[in-house]
Structure 1
Amino acid sequence: MSEVAKRFLEYVSYDTQSQEEQNVIPSTKKQLILAKKLAEELEGMGAENVRITDQGYVYADIPATTNKPAPVLGFIAHMDTAPSFSGKDVKPKVIENYDGKSICLNPDLDIWMTAEDFPDLKHVNGQTLITTDGNTLLGADDKAGIAEILTMADWFLKHPEEEHGKICIGFTPDEEVGRGADGFDVKAFGADVAYTVDGGPLGELTYENFNGASGRVTIHGRNIHPGSGKGQMKNALLMGMEFQAMLPVFENPMYTEGYEGFFHLDSMSGSVEEAKLDYIIRDHDMDRFEEKKKLFVMAAEFMNYKYGKGTVEAYVKDSYYNMKEKIKPHMYLIDKAKASMEKLGIQPLIEPIRGGTDGARLSYMGLPCPNICTGGHNFHGKFEYITVEAMEKVTELLIEITKSFIF
């Protein structure tokens, strides 16, 4: 099996699931275990200036092999996996020469990844497929990106005759909970420009992302015995359902695509006495993004008018913004990545991210940072998969992009 695949299969054995609503970085100490392993691996292959911070950020440099003008180029990936689905005890299934048919991920639980539900499977017919066993996510988001960056770095260190400028490598914790850039030291990282390797299918290349915010609604009810609750009970759960019904029905992830934004009810918990609803709010257009946040707050204000002051508390916090405005002055980053893809026979898929990356935050911190594919599919759930061939191709792509930065 290829080096990039071996690395990937090793990295997914580490449980690095991050956790929401923590006041420390990393949000889970187990991310530090993988961070230490990656730092040791970088040192072992001969990378320079390898360091790991108390917060789990890993940095390293690959020295330039040319005296020709070249910007310092960075590659960044994140170590954590999404809190929405288990990343513990990942047991990947390796399917060689995949036949394009439906796959039984777990016979005991009768979990199938069907060709009908996931039509993109037909594009990987004949390749070596890596899937989950139906109990966990896989972790290609973003351990595939880590494996690809490290395999690229190892290749350059073993081929000093290949001309390239200085390469900076960074691995971050807590990207999945929106805090991957919080402790990232752009100045110490040292790159002029960078790419996050955190995208999806082979060929994906993105420099537009959602403007993102998180929203929380806390509803204070009044619990009275249901036998005598008339005129007195305030059921917080029912009021939560009413709040959700006030938001636009079709501005929902189930009904949106492309540049269309949404309100996403991510979790709801509570009782008659108190309920909490957690949302993510997204839109590519800043004006529509602001309108969505305003509507969210207005819905809470109406509920307070209807049920009494203090019944509903609504809190909205911005998470990140569309990186497009920060990338536009540096469109050569997109041109070079696109040209490198075409040179390798990869069809570029330039489309907006319906999500966010560390690169969006970093672009606003002064490091222009569009996003490149990893080759993975169906992130954040049990139907996640990737192919060995896609990871090999992305590794080649990173090498080709780096070479192209000698001006």
Structure 2
Amino acid sequence: MGAAGTAAMANGAIAARFRLAYPGFALDIDLELPGRGVTALFGPSGSGKTTALRCIAGLARAPDGLLKIGGDVWQDEARGVFVPTHRRALGMVFQDASLFSHLTVKGNLDYGMTRARVTAAEAGRDALCEMLDIAALAERWPDTLSGGERQRVAIARALLTRPQLLLMDEPLASLDVARRLDVLPYLERLRDELDIPIIYVSHAPEEVTRIADEAVVLDRGRVVARGAPLDVLPSASRLVEGGRFGVVNALKARVVAVDEAYGVTRLAHPAGEILIAARLTTQREARVVMRATDVALATAEPRDTSVRTILRGRIEKIDATESALAFVTLTLIGGDRLVSAITRLALDELRLTVGADVFALVKSVALDERGL
């Protein structure tokens, strides 16, 4: 299902206002979200992410809630409007794929189309199966699939209902690291090729950085920050699982050469060469994920060092925390942003200031080729 197959589903921006109180917790959000792309609801456990998603799905009812999807009103308590979940044109994907065990993969997909009352051609099933690489699984039973395969089938089934909105509640949380890295590229394709908005709940910053166009950071039921992931995640690092280790970067680069003698791959980026300690023989482009803690800074181009990835940039912002840390955001040559986590001691000793030209250094062995 490409953009042409989903254009009819796009219905404009989302307005969501919910206030909902439980013992010891209260959700209070008022959001205007875009009608296309991925918006991540991000925050620690108990921050209200899933509660907000349940309100959008109609699984929880806020007493004075309001929810508009483009021109459609799904909830407006002031006017007595509340559309039940089964009548909302939405697709949902949870941590557990929840496939019907008595149906094959094809049977599960057919169920999605039955709900939408459309044929396979109308739903764009073949194109969607190709996009998610599940066509060869059609006659398999759910219990014979890997975790990543089950989640891809669950995503396809949700999309075959022809939703106006796709909700994803930590869909990769139940997968191990290898399976999670397998599925992420497919989520990126959905983001790039679908014309419907996706609301993606996660507490994993590497997922948010890779796939989200915008991150909405929640803490104790309230929105504390929103914007591009690299703009908001560093300042929200106290909320991130793993603290400073949870702030990650993602850069797109072009594969230019594989050095068979040394087993490394050279990637071209406008700010400099990126070296990967693996052979990437089947790709032309890669999104390189690097932790902010793996990015060092230098005020002069280093020589006689084992570091082989050296990127040129200029300091755009400095967030110094009350702890030992400082997050330094660079604008790299070419326009990409890169965040480096350093100590405040290094910040002062190097006399780093906004507007200064610096070099970002990343060890090749710190870059995980499984996520490319």
TM-score by structure 1 length?
0.27
TM-score by structure 2 length?
0.29
Q: Which structure features the higher share of strand residues?
A: 2
